[in-house]
Amino acid sequence: MKSISELSDFYYNELYPELELLEKQRKQILKRLFGFGALYFSITIVLAWFLYEKFSLPATLFFSILSLVGASWLYNYLTKEYSLSFKNKIITALIREIDENLEYDPQKHIEKDLFRSSQLFANLAEKISGNDYVKGSIDGIPIRFSDIHAQTKRQDEKGNDLWETLFLGLFIVSEFPKNFHGQTVVLPDNAQKIFGELIGGWLQKSGSSTSELVKMDNIEFEKEFVVYSTDQIEARYILTPAMMQKLLNYKKKSKHPIYVSFIGGKIYLAIEYNRDMFEASVFHSLLEYKIAQEYIETLHLAVGIVEELKLNQKLWSKL
């Protein structure tokens, strides 16, 4: 797989003409947004004041909510073509440059059952959405990933249903030639505080009599991650010193929480970015180095994890 510097060169040297055209389109959209936005909100404020004077506060609040929905629709309408152009011309080209065996579909996402089978969020995910689906193989290893927004349903004090975000970020699935005997999950250390129910739910799902906390020898790793497994011996085979260091390096590089599980013949990774990584914002220039670099590093991280976490065939032959 090409390095980040090689992909950066491709981004600027090969895609720059398209980027310049998109940049002109972005500036035009931004002018329209400010123009339509100023007019839209001026009219909205006048109508809201009229409703408040003639009717009641609830009617005004209802109108304000509708206005916000309308503003969201207006933004999506004005930026839709720009966003699609960025994905079709830039992201698609980047994916192909990484590996010609990778296929990209901006509309699809990892399916719900596959996300839940990772056990990373204790099957709490009840609603799944997403986009920017990539599928193919790298060095003969099947891989697929996409942006995912997973939500869980809770109830407030009055018994009303509330949808809360469980995970929002990049979800990756890769396959390996040997099945794992047990189930091993690696979670951010603060997951115990934030997702107490997640930990308990996973232990109950796996069987509390066999699912145990795995203590690792790497002190730095212990500060950043917590490991649970149904097979302590296998968990230590998987999380070799080199493997733990690679996960630590990725954590430092991405600066975002990373969740990993080893189940069946698959390795699942969830990188929590709390936003859609492949959406082109009209408020930032695509010609700025930091913006372009983030797109490239995210793509490189997604496929690079497969290469970094390849299983050592000699190691697995001992199990």
pLDDT tens per residue across span 163-186: 889 899 989 898 877 788 889 999
Q: Residue 103: what pLDDT?
A: 92
Name the token pair of 108.
């699809």
**Domain assignment present for 141:** yes
Q: What's the rounded Cα separation, in Å, for the pair 136 and 101?
A: 5
307 within domain boundaries = no
* β-bridge pairing 141-155 and 225-229: unpaired
Structural domain includes residue 167: yes
Domain count along the chain? 1
Strand partners, 186: 227, 260
In a domain, 222, yes or no: yes
Whether 48 is covered by a domain: the verdict is no
Q: Does a structural domain hold residue 301?
A: no
Q: Which domain holds residue 215?
A: 103-279
- Fill in the amino acid letter for 265: G
Instruction: Record the tokens describing residue 150, joined without a space.
Output: 């997973």
How much is the pLDDT for 63? 60
Q: Has residue 174 been placed in a domain?
A: yes
Distance CA 206, CA 212 (A): 10
List, for residues 71-103, the tens digit of each pLDDT value: 778 788 888 899 899 889 888 988 888 888 889
Integer angstrom CA distances of residue 240 from 180, 210, 219, 248, 258: 15, 21, 13, 12, 17
Q: Establish if 249 belongs to a structural domain.
A: yes
Please report, in angstroms and rounded to a whole number, the separation of the first and last CA atoms in the chain: 30
Which token pair is 139?
């060095």
Q: At what angle do helices 289-308 and 241-254 cross, to 10 degrees?
A: 170
